[in-house]
Amino acid sequence: MCGIVGYLGPSQNSVQIVLEGLKRLEYRGYDSAGVSFIDEHNQMQNFKKAGKLENLKSELVGKNLVARTCIGHTRWATHGGVTDNNAHPHSNDILSIIHNGIIENAHDLKSQLEKEGVVFKSETDSESFLELVTFELRKGMPIAQAISQSFKKIHGNSSFVVLYPKTGEIYAIKRGAPLVAGINDVTSEALVSSDPYALAGMVHKLYFPEDEVLLHLSAGNHHLINFYELDLTKTKRYLSKKQDLSVQVSEKGEFEHFMLKEIHEQPELIRGLTQYYFGGEGYESLTRVAKLKPMRILVSACGTAAYAGMVAKDFFEGLNRIPTIVELASEFRYRNPIIQANDLGLFVSQSGETADTLAAQAMCKKAGIQTVSIVNVEGSTLFRDCDENLLIRAGVEIGVASTKAFTQQVLTARLLAAALSGKLDDADYRVKLAGKFSLLAERIDQLLANIDNIKNIAESIYHKKGFFYTGRGVYFPIALEGALKLKEIAYVHAEGYAAGELKHGPIALIDEDIVNIAIIAPDLYEKTISNVQENKARKGIIVGIGQLGDKEGTRLSDYYIGVDFKGLDELAPLYINVVNQLLAYYMAKFKGTDIDKPRNLAKSVTVE
Ligand code: M6R
């Protein structure tokens, strides 16, 4: 969702530093950008523009940007259209603020403030916080108190950064939304952001505050950043960590898009994950989780991560016989789910900041059960809130379409299943499982070295009217994930279906302009073939993905992608998923869409 960056320090280049941070956050998706800074004459300057960061940069050309303190924002519209006026920062003569999240009672707050004579300049909910703080300041309240008192009055999940020109200081606070601060104590710089990635290479130490902790960034502070409770007593409610992210990860190298780069990273990441969990630090975390001996596993996640959870269910039920319920976090949180003692809450997420997933975790925690994450971003809110964490070690994922994270999530779940089975200590078992991981990496390498067939098929079908991805059993979540990838980056209608289910309704849609991407796996082979036949009989275009050399699959298909399932066993769905990732990527490329930053989407969905 919205990106936040704030800088305070001796450098007079604060605007450039903030713009660099915002650039790194572009991958999260946004529709406008802006900055506020305090110039060399101690005057606050504000610039904001709808559209890409480049629009804002053009606006800044020729301006005097000498400034030691700056805050910047990339907006993903929720309240109010995409206009210059609705872009952040929101400012008046005494204050400037940036916001990520939603103020649920903004309407009421605005009405109350309007009665006091406040005139709002934008349609946003965010401006209500600006005017609330300003209202308190005008009554004579000191700034820190004005922020904490105002923060108490707003409902919903939000993070705010406030620039106070009178003292040249920055304040930040959050509830249920991401916020991280960092310091470089050599150069005496302090930064704040919604994403640690924006601060990579700029700071040595990161601080992740808990909810309702007020951060005060000040050059005059001995510590550069001080942390306070809402009653303004000092607090230690934050996690600190060495900053070890590299900036280089943000480069596309030889690849045209981050998505393609990230697809290609998968074999190496699989090898890394094997080492981490079999030979490295990860082993301990797996054994700790296995000791929880759950009677049931409740998986909550969103989007691609939820599909990874569905594959995980197959492992936990198939291999461990542990009943597993997978639910979309956005549904789970508003039902009255049955949560029992000895259940384990398992939360799958790339970012660790997805609002619904966080809410589901909080519900489980409140119900008193153990919560575990399968997560990519170490130090994210989910990581901090769960009792245990299993890192997926996917590195930074920039493409909005999640690819490598899915593979790593599923493999981490497979490792957890191994740990839960109690066989992880058995050397033979470990060698066998590590061998399977390594075979998967090898097969993906081979696939990536021979993509011409997939590319040609993508070129032949990308303009078709609609796409049904079908699969049975554990290939059903793979079908769902394949369809999600295609619709989000190629903007075409695609659905994932259990192959046996089409005849219960959707088959009515099949005609010569509809493509059936059919996963013809060795499991339930004959039944799947019959389903393909039903679609072919209705003139559907069949793209079969099946065993190399399978005559029947090839004969039935208009286009056939032969792959080698042998030896991969329960990991084969991940291999097929890479085929789907490539198909989606090339279809989007032929359509000419913005693959890494598809329209209307954000990388990390921090609002519900
Ligand atoms: O960061 P998370 O894994 O929690 O994100 C969940 C979904 O928002 C995410 O997987 C989304 O569906 C992706 N854009 C899919 O490619």
Average the pLDDT over 353-371 and give the result: 95
**Residue 425 has what pLDDT?**
83
Pocket test for ligand 1, best of 605, 606, 607 (most atoms within 8 A of CB): 605
Sign, CA torsion 443/444/448/450: positive
Q: In 3-state terms, what secondary structure has residue 238? A: strand
Q: Under DSSP, is residue 261 helix (H, G, I), strand (E, B) or coil?
A: helix
| Position 247 pLDDT exceeds 70 | no
DSSP 3-state of 480 = helix
In the block, tokens 């913005």 appear at: 594
Token pair for 148: 């904490």
**Residue 427: per-residue pLDDT:** 87
pLDDT on residue 599: 86
DSSP string, 511-545: STTEEEEEEE-STTHHHHHHHHHHHHHTTPEEEEE
- Is the distance from the beta carbon of residue 409 to the nearest atom of ligand 1 less than 6 Å? no
pLDDT value for 245 = 66
Confidence band, pLDDT 50/70/90 cuts, at residue 453: very high
| Mean pLDDT, rounded, for 110-136 | 96
Q: Which of 354, 410, 593 to mutate to test the pocket of ligand 1 (most atoms within 8 A of CB)?
A: 354
Give exposure, 466-485, as e/b (b: 16+ Cβ within 10 Å): bbbbbbbbbbbbbbbbbbbb
Nearest CA to ligand 1 atom 12: 303
Question: d(Cα 317, Cα 200) in Å, to the nearest integer?
Answer: 40
User: Which residue puts its alpha carbon closest to atom 8 of ligand 1?
Assistant: 303
Task: Name the DSSP letter for residue 89.
Answer: P
Ligand 1: atom nearest CA of 485 is 16
The phi and psi torsions of 394 (rounded to 5 degrees) equal -95, -5
Quick one: pLDDT at residue 424?
86
pLDDT tens-digit series, residues 410-448? 999 999 999 999 998 888 999 999 999 999 999 999 999
Whole-number Å distance between alpha carbons of 157 and 69: 26
The pLDDT, as a whole number, for residue 25 is: 87
Residue range 392-409: mean pLDDT, rounded: 95
Task: Give residue 246's pLDDT.
Answer: 63
Which range, of 68-72, 241-245, 508-512, averages the lowest pLDDT? 241-245
Does ligand 1 come within 6 angstroms of the Cβ of 350? Answer: yes
Q: How many CA atoms lie within 13 A of 91 on its CB side?
A: 26
Q: What is the pLDDT of residues 551-564, one digit of tens each?
A: 999 999 999 999 99
Mean pLDDT for the stretch of residues 535-542: 93
Domains of the chain: 3-100+159-250 (3.60.20.10), 258-448 (3.40.50.10490), 452-591 (3.40.50.10490)
> What pLDDT is stored for residue 315 in this prediction?
97
Give how far Cα 367 sits from Cα of 61, 327, 462, Å: 54, 17, 47
Q: Which residues pair with 140 in a beta bridge?
A: none
90 Cα: distance to centroid of ligand 1 (angstroms):
29
Task: Give the contacts of 87 (CB within 8 A, at least 6 positions apart).
Answer: 32, 33, 34, 48, 49, 50, 73, 75
Q: Is 481 in the pocket of ligand 1 (CB under 6 A)?
A: no
DSSP SS3 for 183:
strand
Q: Which residues are catalytic?
A: 2, 603
| pLDDT, averaged across the chain | 93
Residue 248 has pLDDT above 70, yes or no: no
DSSP annotation of 505 reads T
Tally: H helices and E strands in the chain: 19, 24
Q: Is the pLDDT of residue 186 over 90?
A: no
Please give the distance, rounded to the nearest whole angstrom, from the Cα atom of residue 607 to the centre of ligand 1: 13
- State what percent of residues in the chain have pLDDT above 70: 99
Pocket mutation for ligand 1, best pick of 304, 373, 599, 606 (most atoms within 8 Å of C-beta)? 304
| Residue 605 Cβ < 6 Å to ligand 1 | yes
Query: What local confidence, expressed as pLDDT, does residue 249 receive?
Result: 58
For residue 221, pLDDT over 90 is answered with no
Residue 244 pLDDT greater than 80, yes or no: no
Residue of the nearest CA to atom 9 in ligand 1?
Answer: 303
Q: Establish whether residue 354 lines the binding site of ligand 1, counting it when its CB lies within 6 angstroms of any ligand atom.
A: yes
Grade residue 110 by pLDDT with cuts at 50, 70 and 90.
very high
Rama region for 224: left / alpha / beta (φ>0; ψ in -120 to 50; rest):
left
- What is the per-residue pLDDT across 68-103, written as a single tens digit (0 to 9) for each? 999 999 998 888 899 999 999 999 999 999 999 999
CB-based contact 132:109 (threshold 8 Å): yes
Length of the chain counted residue by residue = 608
Query: What pLDDT shows up at residue 200?
Result: 86
